[in-house]
Structure 1
Amino acid sequence: MNEALRVAMAEQGLSCEVLAEKVGVDPKTVGRWLSPGRIPHGRHRIVAAKVLRREILDLWPDEGRRRRDVPWFRPWREAEAQSLALRSFEASVIPGLLQTEAYARAVLASGPIAAEDVERFVKVRMERQKAVFDRPRPPLAVFVVDEAALRRGDPGLMNEQLDHLVEMASRPNLFVHVIPFSAGLYPGQAGSFVIGSVEGSRDVSYLDNQLAGQLATEPNELAVLVRVWDAVRGHTLPRDQSIELMKARPWMK
């Protein structure tokens, strides 16, 4: 038996039926989670851990041995790969799902990550892109990017990255919208975030900070982010104008 999960349920006074209702699954599914080696989908682990007031890897430590990425990021990576729709806002860099390998390497190397770990995280980022966009039914993905992110970086690096961005933005299920400098100040500048919509489950959001990512699953948290998303979206250029700006790159001339 998964003793850690059993103890957590007992301490919170939750039966399989009650936990199943809170997570949004069948009680038999929760019963299977109690068996050794049975690990829930990422979106269910996120909610179950919150309900039980435990860290995900405290409840399912075996999952930590399977991946190269950091523990707090794994549940979002799985939710992202299963999403039917993604809404992403980035203020300072090109979103990870749209980065070239060279750009990803440069961004990761500029941060607090140890030099010996950069290639590992680059590989994880490339794997994430394949998991999201190369599956039979990729999600409807809408990316909002501040114009500042298009300008920041070595011209040689950014020309390749912007070519890739234009190519991705031309896919029928993928939209890239740019917030031009002329928009002035807007609510989204408080921080970047992504909202994923997963079939059969509540939405889940991922927010970055300087130390680690934060997952948001509570309805009130998601309601705030949706309001911010709607406000941010109102400041963007239309799809065609965004693509033209990325092609023209007047700041490089």
Structure 2
Amino acid sequence: MVDGALSTLEFLGAELRRARRERGLNQEDLAQRITYSSSLVGMVEIGHRTPSQDFIARADAALEAGGLFERLLTLVRADAAPPWLREWISVEAEATLIRWFEPSLIPGLLQTEAYARAVLRGGGMLREAEVEQRITSRLARQAILARETPPEFVAVVDEGVLRRCVGEPAVMAEQFAHLLRVTEWSHVDLHVAPAEAGMHAGLAGAFILARTPEGGEVAHLDNPLRAHVTDRPEDVDSLQRRWESLRGEALPRRASRDLIRELAKSWT
């Protein structure tokens, strides 16, 4: 929120609350009509939870809103990504190959909703409405891996990523199950840089390389304030060398899956 302005998610919630009250309904009444919990209705109304398409469609029908809330949800999704990330999202959406290294967290395109929520809530740096909007953006970005012609996606994570508890153990158990599921896809490879590798080229920080349809390469580097996107040849060449060094340290695909499967047991 800036100077008291509502986010699009908070505006949707406020309009839902206004329409509900105009119908003379309390939250429990609306919840019963759309067969969702009253607590979820309340969370949506204060902008602390992004509603699903089904929730919105039912609310539109129950409140005879003429599609208002479906239109507002479209705006929420369009506005979900932080402005500084939107350039990269457009690159990512068109990429034919994505190579991603993460030393601290599961790569965003492979995160479950619960894991992403725990990451974004960590440290208390974001308001709940901002957390929800970023989750909406992150989950929408993941759709590229499930489309008819997905990019080839290759990720390397440090073993510490798999041992770090983010959220509750149940969140980690779900995340590991998701990793094992998506890495069965032929276009998704996940490799682990094992602890015994010691110091390696990736410890300087996370980075992503995306190959464009024209064959060019674009790089993404993140920091706590904003994303840095570059296609400068010297930057890309440096990161490509770093990537090749990391791949040399990482376990092969099958050995990585075996390690992920073994570590999954520690979260159940």
- With structure 1 as the length reference, what TM-score do the two structures score? 0.71
The separation in 2 between residues aligned to 1:216 and 1:231, in whole angstroms, is 21
**Matched AA of 1:103:** Y
**Greater CA radius of gyration, 1 or 2?**
2
Q: Does 1:142 align with 2:184?
A: no
Match of 1:214 among 211, 214, 228: 228
Q: Distance in 1 between matches of 2:91 and 2:103?
A: 22
Unaligned runs of 5+ in 2: 1-76
Of 81, 88, 106, 1:94 maps to 106
Kindly report which structure 2 residues correspond to 1:65-84, keeping only aligned pairs within 5 A, or say none. 66-84=78-96
Alpha-carbon offset, residue 209 of structure 1: 0.6
In the alignment, structure 1 segments of 5+ residues that lack a partner are: 1-64
- SS at 1:110's partner residue? helix
Residue 179 (structure 2) aligns with: 165
**Contact 1:195 1:206 (C-alpha < 8 Å) held by counterparts:** yes
How far off its partner does 1:202 sit? 2.2
CA contact (8 A) 1:176 1:242 kept: yes
- Equivalent residue letter for 2:157: V
Match of 1:120 in 2: 133
Q: Does 1:228 align with 2:242?
A: yes
Q: Does residue 1:109 correspond to 2:117, yes or no?
A: no
What amino acid maps onto 1:104 in structure 2?
Answer: A
Aligned 8 A contact 1:151 1:251 in 2: no
Q: Which amino acid aligns with 1:236?
A: A
TM value normalised by structure 2: 0.67
- Provide the aligned C-alpha RMSD in A: 1.7
Aligned AA (1:227): R
d(CA) in 2 for partners of 1:197, 1:230: 15
- Correspondence 1:188-203 to 2 at 5 A: 188-200=202-214, 202-203=216-217
Deviation at 1:213, TM superposition (A): 0.9
| C-alpha separation in 2, matches of 1:210 and 1:244 | 33
Letter in 1 for 2:257: I
Summarize deviations over 1:13-68 as a string: whole Å, max 9, x none.
Answer: xxxxxxxxxxxxxxxxxxxxxxxxxxxxxxxxxxxxxxxxxxxxxxxxxxxx9532
* CA shift digits 1:219-250 (9 cap, x unpaired): 01100000100111111011001001111117
| Corresponding residue of 1:151 | 163
Give secondary structure in 2 for the equivalent of 1:234: helix
CA distance in 2, matches of 1:217, 1:250: 37
Q: State the shift of 1:155 in Å.
A: 2.0
Residue identity opposite 1:113 in structure 2:
L
Q: Any idea what the Cα deviations from partners look like across 1:204-224, whole Å, max 9, x if unmatched?
A: 111111111111110011000
CA contact (8 A) 2:80 2:136 kept: no
CA distance in 1, matches of 2:126, 2:243: 29
Corresponding residue number in structure 1 for 2:253: 239
- The alpha carbon displacement at 1:187 in A equals 1.2
Classify the secondary structure of the residue corresponding to 2:80.
coil
Q: How many residues align?
A: 188
